[in-house]
Amino acid sequence: MNRSDSGRFKKIGILVGVVLLLGLGGAVAAVFPSASNEGYSPEQPIPYSHKLHAGTYKIQCQYCHSDVEKSKHANVPSVNVCMNCHSIVKTDSPYIQKIKKAYDENKPIEWVRIHELPDFVYFPHKRHVAKGVACQTCHGPIQEMERVYQYSPLTMGWCLDCHRGKTTPKEVVARVYPGVKDPKGLIAPHQCTTCHQ
Ligand code: HEC
Ligand code: HEC
Ligand code: HEC
Ligand code: HEC
Ligand code: HEC
């Protein structure tokens, strides 16, 4: 943890305390509007295309992002996964040769990270996937993207709008409240400590 993180932890600790005392939960997202990286789409070391792999060839997301159901984090696949196919597919391509070189030298490809929450936010992928929230609900039409971009704002207000039922997809509501016709309740908890531990 670096200094600014621990500063933020303190800031949040104090705020969480104050807000709990005053019972003003809902106002926080409005009082602390935050910057968003929506649309962020950095150039990658190899022009890997989701449109081609996940779209045209319909390779399942979990084939590569295999941790997403098991873990807090979704992983980006290692070169071994690419080599399952590219040890024989398109070996004349200079990009594929770059992948093979990384594989032979046992070096990772340095993909540039796109989605990144601050360290003081707790976001468990598996809890969302287990309730049937589709990857595309949060990440947009990845299978149509030549180059991945950040589709959602990933701000606190964005998280809360779904947890409070405002933007929750119908099929997710049905998974959280099976058999209930018109659930008035909350979809997911929204106490500060749910996401800030
Ligand atoms: C053949 C492997 C493969 C498949 C299949 C695949 N991905 Fe990826 N994905 C990657 C690689 C490699 C990266 C890192 C490079 C990049 O960002 O394009 C990545 C990056 C991402 C990112 C951005 C990660 C970040 O840095 O924030 C998201 C989100 C994502 N994939 C979602 C999906 C979804 C949703 C699907 C299914 C529709 C999918 N992927 C299918 C290999 C794959
Ligand atoms: C399930 C098989 C499969 C896997 C796994 C796979 N690919 Fe591919 N990839 C393909 C196919 C099929 C093509 C299209 C080949 C063609 O155009 O003839 C392709 C094409 C490509 C191309 C375009 C090459 C060019 O010069 O046209 C790149 C770059 C690429 N893949 C990168 C990756 C990376 C990086 C990974 C690992 C994250 C990966 N692939 C995993 C099947 C796969
Ligand atoms: C409820 C919204 C939501 C859903 C559903 C979701 N993601 Fe994510 N995803 C995020 C957020 C938020 C981040 C940034 C996480 C962080 O920085 O800790 C992220 C980050 C990622 C990353 C970058 C690595 C990481 O864990 O930070 C990948 C890859 C990814 N998601 C793939 C997927 C795939 C594949 C699916 C579907 C199986 C999926 N996501 C479903 C919101 C979501
Ligand atoms: C599209 C809807 C949606 C979005 C967007 C979303 N969530 Fe969730 N979240 C859910 C659902 C559904 C659950 C599961 C509730 C359950 O298990 O009953 C959940 C559960 C959680 C949990 C586990 C709560 C517990 O029971 O302990 C955490 C933590 C969480 N979300 C954090 C986040 C954060 C942080 C963000 C934003 C970066 C976010 N969520 C965005 C729908 C969403
Ligand atoms: C559903 C998840 C979730 C809940 C519940 C939640 N937050 Fe957050 N919070 C986030 C996310 C994601 C961020 C980072 C993105 C941003 O700044 O909007 C954040 C950022 C913050 C920040 C930093 C803002 C900034 O400008 O840097 C503060 C302070 C904060 N939250 C306080 C609270 C308090 C107090 C509560 C309880 C009333 C709360 N949060 C409840 C998800 C949540």
- What's residue 19's pLDDT? 52
Closest CA relative to residue 149, chosen from 159, 138, 157, 158: 138
pLDDT at 36: 82
| Residue 91 CB–ligand 2 contact under 6 Å | no
For 36-92, how does the pLDDT look when each residue is reduced to its tens digit (9 = 90+)?
A: 899 999 999 999 999 999 999 999 999 999 998 888 888 999 999 999 999 999 999
Cα 77 to Cα 33, 67, 99: the distances in Å are 34, 10, 12
pLDDT of 1 reads 40
Which residue's CA is the closest to the ligand 5 atom numbered 26? 34
| C-alpha–C-alpha distance, residues 131 and 138, integer Å | 14
Q: What is the mean pLDDT of residues 120-132?
A: 94
Cβ–ligand 1 contact at 50 (below 6 Å)? yes
At 33, the pLDDT band (50, 70, 90 cuts) reads low
Task: State pLDDT tens for residues 141-197.
Answer: 999 999 999 999 999 999 999 999 999 999 999 999 998 887 777 899 989 999 998
**pLDDT surpasses 60 at 8:** no
**Ligand 2: centre distance to CA 191 (Å):** 43
Q: Do the beta carbons of residue 170 and residue 132 sit within 8 Å?
A: no
Q: Is the CB of 65 under 6 A from ligand 2?
A: no
Atom from ligand 1 closest to the CA of residue 116: 27
Cβ(81) to ligand 2 under 6 A? Answer: yes
Ligand at shortest distance from the CA of 13: 5
Say how many Å lie between the CA of residue 98 and the centre of ligand 5.
41
